[in-house]
Amino acid sequence: MNGNRLVRYSLRTIVLVYLGLLIVWPVSLVAKNAFSEGIGTFIDALTEETTAYAFQLTLIVAVWAVVINTVFGILISILLVRYTFPGRRALSAFIDLPLSVSPVVVGLALLLAYGGTNGWFGPALEDSGIQVIYATPGIIMATAFVSLPLVIREIVPVLTEIGTEQEQAARSLGANAWQTFRRITIPAIRWALVYGVVLSLARSLGEFGAVKIVSGNIVGQTQTATLVVEEKYQNFEQTAAYASSFVLAAAAVLALIVVTLLRPGHEESASTAGVTAATTSVPTQKDPA
């Protein structure tokens, strides 16, 4: 037992030191560096005109991307779990693709498809007055691309677990499709949905590589908050860079805390759902026999 305890304590120590050096210490330095010249400088850096504009743009883009991904995510998740159609497996695999594609490749792909002069559809879109690349729509698309699977990955397992009994009961009692969706499905996937939305929001606020390419990084027009961080740092305005970073990091950590506080309930309900599924599936298996 003593040996066990020794292994336990040494593993715990190694893990804590490792994570401390790799994550905790560096991240905590952002706060220190952001306020190194006092709270006044910190506020000045953030309220500077172009920086304030960049944060505003980031927020608008993130909200659009999250709304699009949530609507699309719910739709795709229900289709993938509740219906069979040719190519379902392929679609399910392709949905995860954006998580493995380099942000730079995402930017390049959008540029090649929607670029104003050489893109496939860019010139035609510009003739009808829609500019995608080097404008807000392009930034929204790049952001939506990289955070696309996050909502879906949260909802699909929960939809699979809860099964269709309640939905079928509601339908047999005379509820129409929309009522069933609003009264049964949405409440059942509520927490998974919140979880997915918070993760998407965190991801959307912080996208850098893809946005850098499609936005053109025009100060005061298409420059987002993450691009401000890069520019300030490279112009030797370190405190300003750390001030913007602090806000972005605080938003990310806050999102994580929200998600972690929600998660236990979510996990519990998922595991109990699993247990009920396991017990109820015994009689259904006997049915045909």
Partner 1 sequence: MTSPTLTQVRRRGPRRRARAATALTPAAGVGLGIALIWFSILVLLPLSAVVITTTEGGWATFWETIRQPQTWAAIKLTVGEAVLVTLTNVVFGTMIAWVLVRDRFWGKRVLEVIIDIPFALPTIVAGLVLLALYGPNSPIGVDVANTRIAVYLALLFVTTPFVVRTVQPVLLELDPETEQAAQSLGASRFTTFRRILIPALAPAITAGAALSFARAISEYGSLVLLSGNLPMRTEVTSVRILTYIENGNMAAAASVASLLLLVALFAIVALDVISRRVARR
The nearer residue to partner 1, 120 or 187, going by C-beta atoms, is: 120
Q: Is 191 in the site for partner 1 (CB under 8 A)?
A: no
Of 85, 214, 80, 86, nearest to 151 by C-alpha is 80
Residues 6+ apart with CB under 8 A from 189: 74, 155, 158, 159, 162
CB of 121: closest distance to partner 1 in angstroms? 8
Of 103, 104, 141, nearest to 122 by C-alpha is 141
Residues 6+ apart with CB under 8 A from 140: 61, 64, 65, 68
Q: Is 169 in the site for partner 1 (CB under 8 A)?
A: no
Q: Is 54 in the site for partner 1 (CB under 8 A)?
A: no
Q: Is 118 in the site for partner 1 (CB under 8 A)?
A: yes
Q: How far is CA 159 from the centre of its chain?
A: 19
Instruction: Pick one of 112, 124, 130, 218: the residue that binds partner 1 (CB under 8 A).
Output: 112
CA distance 164 to 90: 24
The nearer residue to partner 1, 83 or 173, going by C-beta atoms, is: 83
CB of 174: closest distance to partner 1 in angstroms? 17
Instruction: Pick one of 148, 158, 188, 240: the residue that binds partner 1 (CB under 8 A).
Output: 148
Q: Is 141 in the site for partner 1 (CB under 8 A)?
A: yes
CB of 112: closest distance to partner 1 in angstroms? 4
Q: Is 79 in the site for partner 1 (CB under 8 A)?
A: yes
Site string for partner 1, 13-42 (x = CB under 8 A): -xxx-xx-xxxxxxx-xx-xx---------
Q: Is 203 in the site for partner 1 (CB under 8 A)?
A: yes
Residues 6+ apart with CB under 8 A from 146: 98, 103, 106, 203, 207, 210
Q: Is 182 in the site for partner 1 (CB under 8 A)?
A: no
- Residue linked to tokens 């905590």: 28
Q: Is 138 in the site for partner 1 (CB under 8 A)?
A: no
Q: How far is CA 124 from the centre of its chain?
A: 31
Instruction: Pick one of 2, 128, 172, 285: the residue that binds partner 1 (CB under 8 A).
Output: 285
Binding to partner 1 (CB under 8 A): which residues in 207-246?
207-209, 212-213, 226, 229-230, 233-234, 241-242, 245
The nearer residue to partner 1, 47 or 260, going by C-beta atoms, is: 260
Q: How many other CB atoms are there within 10 angstroms of residue 136's CB atom?
A: 16
- The 8 Å CB, 24+ separation contacts for 29-36 are 30/242, 30/245, 30/246, 30/249, 31/246, 33/238, 33/239, 33/242, 34/239, 34/242, 34/243, 34/245, 34/246, 35/246, 36/239, 36/242
Q: Is 155 in the site for partner 1 (CB under 8 A)?
A: no
Instruction: Pick one of 60, 63, 67, 113: the residue that binds partner 1 (CB under 8 A).
Output: 113
Binding to partner 1 (CB under 8 A): which residues in 90-109?
91, 93-109
The nearer residue to partner 1, 160 or 269, going by C-beta atoms, is: 160
Total of residues contacting partner 1 (CB under 8 A): 100
Kindly compute the dihedral angle of the four CA atoms of residues 41, 47, 49, 54, in this order, to the nearest 10 degrees: 110
CB of 268: closest distance to partner 1 in angstroms? 13
